[in-house]
């Protein structure tokens, strides 16, 4: 008999999600089963439902900021036990044999990692995400939720948290850094929390003035409206880092290069449905900055990030919705209402 989950599935891009029974992945010695208690709502969930990045394999249950209670583990599982609270992010499997995996960068797996939803495991099973009652997957991508953190607070660390922590850490953000966080949404607000916790001066950067006050409440030391020339002029060549989590589609490289100090870093984590504009080699070399990209984070960084967040007592700004209210939560997300993350609760 096939074991099943009950999830809120997208069946086509233009319809509300519907509740549906779907097969759990085949059990193996590394498997973990969890009863999902919480799942954050990420911008990537919406891109996938909308097929904004390309075709989606419907039916698709999105959600990759999952926290649940472990109900069963395979014989080879050592990192988590029945009754523990586990967290899962956007990546749930990689080959573990290629040089990149062996170096600890499983999120850059040379054979491609398996996404927590809209993905395929090596045996061909489809992956289903956290807008559901149950999750089954590989223990090596399940992380223990620190005791000091509530499950609802923990959930969105597993994507939005790690995606912002990883580049800030990689590019050595510290007390001397002046970090611009571009886009104060779900990811952006974690960018602010983590950069502050690393000791940096943080400048919130938004596409209009709507979040000017709230970004200061969040902890930003200052604010730039990216469509306000005098705000931009004030920070000319002042920032050591820009963490790009979202922009409007009139994005121009020059606007942001002008804000970065020599040897600065433009760290992109946003994945909009449009391309960045052309960048001339001359513009790049004259700017003397580095451009990078990050896809969530590998297992080691995931555990490090959640431990760091617990140690620093970081608290995300979230609003909870009942899982059964998921379609209303999606409408509110599309309307730009999160301040700053929505979490679905079973
Ligand atoms: N690299 C990764 O591994 C990874 C992981 C998770 C998500 N992502 C991607 O990162 C992006 C952000 O995700 P999120 O969950 O943080 O989404 P979100 O909460 O919707 O935040 C996106 C932000 O983009 C900004 N923005 C600028 N111009 C906009 C416009 N014209 N319309 C709407 N928003 C605009 C907004 O901030 P302001 O109002 O402050 O301008 C908005 O809050 C998505 O593309 C998502 O797919 C990437
Ligand atoms: Zn995500
Ligand atoms: Zn690999």
**Which atom of ligand 1 is found nearest the CA of 205?**
40
Distance between CA 309 and CA 156 in Å, rounded?
A: 12
State the DSSP code for 141.
G
Does an H or E element contain 68, and which?
A: strand 66-73
Domain 4-159+296-345 identical in fold to domain 161-293: no
To test the ligand 1 pocket, which listed residue (246, 329, 340) has its Cβ within 8 A of the most ligand atoms?
246
Count the neighbouring beta carbons within 10 Å of the beta carbon of residue 286.
Answer: 10
Residue ranges per domain, the chain?
4-159+296-345, 161-293
| Ligand 1 nearest-atom number relative to CA 294 | 1
If you take atom 37 of ligand 1, which residue's CA is the nearest one?
A: 183
Which residue in 146, 163, 140 sits closest to 64, CA to CA? 163
Cβ atoms of 308 and 148 closer than 8 Å: no
Instruction: Tell me which residue of 130, 123, 119 sits closest to 91, measured CA to CA.
Output: 119
- Ligand having the closest approach to the CA of 122: 3
Integer angstrom CA distances of residue 231 from 9, 16, 43, 54, 259: 43, 40, 27, 36, 10
pLDDT in tens, the chain (346 residues): 679 999 999 999 989 999 999 999 999 999 999 999 999 999 999 999 999 999 999 999 999 999 999 999 999 999 999 999 999 999 999 999 999 999 999 999 999 999 999 999 999 999 999 999 999 999 999 999 999 999 999 999 999 999 999 999 999 999 999 999 999 999 999 999 999 999 999 999 999 999 999 999 999 999 999 999 999 999 999 999 999 999 989 999 999 999 999 999 999 999 999 999 999 999 999 999 999 999 999 999 999 999 999 999 999 999 999 999 999 999 999 999 999 999 999 9
Written out in words, the top-level CATH class of the domain with range 161-293 is alpha beta
Class of domain 4-159+296-345: alpha beta
């Amino acid at each position: 008999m096939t074991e099943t989950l009950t999830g809120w599935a997208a069946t086509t891009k233009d319809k509300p999600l519907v509740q549906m029974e779907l097969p759990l992945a085949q059990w193996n010695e590394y498997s973990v089963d969890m009863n999902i208690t919480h799942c954050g709502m990420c911008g990537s969930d919406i891109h996938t439902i909308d097929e904004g990045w390309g075709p989606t394999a419907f039916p698709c249950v999105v959600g990759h900021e999952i926290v649940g209670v472990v109900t069963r583990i395979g014989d080879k599982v050592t990192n988590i036990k029945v009754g523990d609270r586990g967290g899962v992010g956007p990546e749930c499997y990689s080959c573990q044999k290629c040089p990149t995996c062996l170096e600890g960068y499983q999120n850059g797996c040379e054979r491609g990692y398996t996404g927590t939803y809209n993905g395929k495991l090596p045996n061909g099973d489809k992956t289903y995400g956290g807008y559901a009652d149950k999750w089954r997957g590989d223990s090596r991508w399940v992380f223990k939720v620190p005791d000091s953190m509530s499950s609802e607070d923990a959930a969105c660390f597993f994507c939005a948290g790690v995606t912002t922590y990883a580049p800030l850490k990689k590019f050595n953000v510290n007390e001397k850094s002046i970090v611009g966080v571009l886009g104060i949404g779900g990811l952006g607000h974690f960018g602010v929390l983590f950069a502050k916790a690393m000791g940096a001066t943080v400048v919130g950067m938004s596409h209009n003035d709507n979040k000017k006050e709230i970004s200061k409440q969040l902890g930003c030391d200052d604010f730039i409206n990216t469509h306000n020339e005098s705000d931009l002029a004030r920070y000319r060549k002042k920032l050591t880092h820009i963490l790009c989590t979202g922009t409007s589609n009139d994005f121009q490289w020059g606007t942001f290069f002008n804000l970065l100090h020599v040897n600065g870093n433009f760290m992109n984590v946003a994945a909009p449905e449009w391309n960045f504009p052309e960048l001339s080699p001359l513009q790049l070399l004259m700017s003397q900055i580095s451009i990078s990209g990050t896809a969530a984070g590998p297992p080691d960084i995931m555990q490090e990030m959640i431990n760091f967040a617990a140690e620093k007592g970081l608290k995300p700004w979230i609003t909870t919705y009942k899982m059964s209210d998921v379609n209303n939560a999606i409408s509110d997300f599309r309307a730009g209402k999160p301040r700053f993350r929505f979490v679905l609760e079973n």
